[in-house]
Structure 1
Amino acid sequence: MKPTSLLLLCLALGLGLGGCTRLSTLKATTVSYRLPEGSGPTAQIRIIAKGIVRGVPSSDCIDWRKPDSGLMVRPHGNRPNPNFRSLGMPMSAEADRLRRSDDFGANELKIPANRPFALMFSNTERPKNSDLIYSCAQSVRFTPEAGVNYQLVFIHDTQQQCLALLRKIDGQGNALPDEVKLEKADYCSADARP
């Protein structure tokens, strides 16, 4: 839906700008990310996550109202044939094992190169035999290089830490030793927050 159409819909429904923000947040959890038209050079990224990952192309901050932003990965929820969008990127046995794990999800996607890309990871879980609920949320950004294959792993680990690890991968799908630097991403503006 175009931003002007969304604004008119919000006004027609009497939602005001606060309601529009909630609608843009809803969009980020229900509408899939897509490569912007005419984006020029691209990189490929495999995202493996124990939680939900949403992305904002050509942005160094989070704002779900931006065109083409949306859902990139969600856990497959123990489905026997999880949805996995493959671009044919080489994959190591370890990455394949991890992406098939019960609490994980994964996708391979094209992203615009030479421009910042912002991602938000979130996960909530209740450990077995516990009344506690643990929540993990992290927003990061990086600038992909054209023609490079990346693998990004988001984990909410057993010590309840929120971890993000981004690496370039080689022709066999193995992660290269040097970690690609991720920077913290914030919301673009106060009204972009959910």
Structure 2
Amino acid sequence: MKKASLLMLLSIPLFSGCSTVTGLKSYTTAYNEPQPATSSRLRVITDQTVRLVPDSQCIDWHLPGAGIVNSRSLAPLNDHTFNDRSLGIPGGDGVQNSSEIYIRPDTPITLVYAGATRKYQCVTGVHFVPEAGADYEAKSEPCGIWISKIVKNSTTGAVSREPVSSHTAKTCH
């Protein structure tokens, strides 16, 4: 009887493999930018890993396009496609640990921070709806993501950051 129970326990990963592999894919592959490129852009600054779930107000790694936008983690399978990429978003001179991507405007996007310090591990997510033609910046710190709209004064060239209203993103049900 013990052998049958053990065999059943060991076979669970085999039967759940499809959903596990699909979920794992978003942890190891890059976010899929909208094609063609849009007029809205996002700079992501982190010293850990930030993933994006497009067209969603919640976290669901099975959604099309979900994946890594910036990973500073040493994990061997994390995708680093967008690390240090610049699309010319104003105010990016001298910014370290950043990546710039195209995002779809007028639909919600969810950003998910995953990181660890000596004291704790944390996964947190927020969602917001970007405007067409706007540039944004998301900064992460342990257990938080703050989003700002980048505004460049056309007369002076000065760059300012305006806080964007974002909401906590939870796992989709």
Settle same-fold status: TM greater than 0.5. Answer: yes
Deviations 1:3-36 (A, max 9, x none): xxxxxxxxxxx833x3233212321121100213
The change in CA–CA distance for 1:69 and 1:167 in structure 2 (over 3 A counts) is same
CA contact (8 A) 2:54 2:108 kept: yes
Q: Percent identity?
A: 31
Aligned to 1:174: 159
- AA partner of residue 136 (structure 2): Y
TM-score, normalised to structure 1, is 0.69
Deviations 1:63-100 (A, max 9, x none): 111111101011176xxxx941110112255xx34x2x
Gaps of 5+ in 2: 1-12, 75-81
Q: Which runs of 4+ in 1 moved over 4 A?
A: none
CA contact (8 A) 1:151 1:168 kept: yes
Aligned to 1:108: 100
Deviations 1:115-169 (A, max 9, x none): 000111010122xxxxxx411221110000000010110112xxxxx22211111
The change in CA–CA distance for 1:87 and 1:76 in structure 2 (over 3 A counts) is farther
1:145 to 125, 131, 134: 131
Give SS of 1:170's match: strand
Instruction: Report the aligned-residue RMSD.
Output: 2.4
Give SS of 2:17's match: helix
Cα distance in 1, alignment partners of residues 62 and 171 from structure 2: 11
Aligned to 2:14: 15
Cα distance in 1, alignment partners of residues 85 and 104 from structure 2: 17
Gaps of 5+ in 1: 1-13, 100-104, 127-132, 157-161, 190-194
What is the Cα deviation at residue 62 of structure 1?
1.1
Q: How does 1:43-192 map to 2 (within 5 A)?
A: 43-75=40-72, 83-92=83-92, 96-97=94-95, 99=96, 105-126=97-118, 133-156=119-142, 162-171=143-152, 174-176=159-161, 178-189=162-173
- AA partner of residue 181 (structure 1): S
The change in CA–CA distance for 1:155 and 1:65 in structure 2 (over 3 A counts) is same
CA contact (8 A) 1:74 1:106 kept: no
What is the Cα deviation at residue 174 of structure 1?
3.2
CA contact (8 A) 1:150 1:166 kept: yes
Deviations 1:44-65 (A, max 9, x none): 0100012110111111111111
Cα distance in 1, alignment partners of residues 145 and 158 from structure 2: 18
Cα distance in 1, alignment partners of residues 126 and 158 from structure 2: 23
Aligned to 1:28: 26
- AA partner of residue 144 (structure 2): L
Decide which structure has the larger Cα Rg and report it. 2
Give SS of 1:86's match: coil
- AA partner of residue 148 (structure 1): A
